[in-house]
């Protein structure tokens, strides 16, 4: 997508576009990806978009060091999540254990964990099978993920075309 391209450009061309301590306004933020990346590059960011009836809550950003003071800072009686989402969060093998501890703390009965991460053998040399069972995980390789993504995209396109009043069958 163009948002991903812009994010890559911002990160790769920091010598030309230095966002550190700059004020940034994003127009048409959509998913907010560009605003998030700008923020990670040190900018103060205001993300704007059209009002959206599906956006019912303001996102909250809080500090969390995996495995440290989680029980103290996130009381289990207050913080109950339907979904825990993680995307490409582990780059060093020494973080896996703390991440699993944190996941286990937040994943209560009824919580669905969606974790997308490239399997790097130096990071995941051996995740104990008991950890896999705790989360009832389903491992998918890249080809399976692309196949699933393509299936979802085909559905989305056919639904959009149907919504526009066209009647087609997308296989």
Specify which residues 47 forms β-bridges with: 26
Half-sphere exposure at residue 29, Cβ-oriented, CA atoms within 13 angstroms: 19
Is the pLDDT at 153 greater than 80? The verdict is: no
Mean pLDDT of the chain: 74
Q: What is the DSSP letter of 116?
A: E
For the beta carbon of residue 41, count every other beta carbon within 10 angstroms: 18
Give pLDDT tens digits for 33-68.
Answer: 999 999 999 999 988 887 765 677 777 878 888 888
More confident residue, 148 or 41: 41
Model-wide pTM > 0.75? no
More confident residue, 73 or 155: 73
pLDDT value of position 33: 92
C-alpha distance from residue 19 to each of 15, 43, 118 (Å): 10, 5, 29
pLDDT band at 164 (very low <50, low <70, confident <90, very high): very low
Let me know: does 77 contact 109? Beta carbons within 8 Å.
Answer: no
For the beta carbon of residue 168, count every other beta carbon within 10 angstroms: 8
């Amino acid at each position: 997508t163009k948002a991903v391209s812009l994010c890559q450009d911002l990160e790769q061309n920091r010598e030309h576009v230095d966002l550190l301590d700059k004020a940034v306004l994003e127009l048409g933020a959509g998913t907010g990806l560009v605003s998030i990346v700008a923020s990670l590059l040190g900018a103060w960011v205001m993300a704007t978009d059209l009002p959206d009836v599906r956006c019912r809550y303001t996102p909250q950003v809080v500090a969390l060091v995996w495995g440290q003071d989680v029980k103290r800072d996130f009381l289990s009686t207050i913080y109950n999540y339907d979904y825990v989402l993680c995307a490409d969060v582990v780059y060093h093998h020494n973080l896996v254990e703390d991440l699993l501890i944190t996941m286990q703390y937040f994943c209560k009965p009824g919580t669905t964990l969606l974790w997308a991460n490239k399997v790097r053998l130096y990071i995941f040399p051996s995740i104990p099978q008991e950890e896999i069972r705790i989360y009832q995980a389903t491992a998918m390789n890249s080809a399976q993920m692309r196949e699933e993504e393509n299936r979802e995209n085909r559905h989305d396109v056919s639904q959009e075309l149907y919504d526009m009043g066209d009647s087609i069958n997308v296989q």
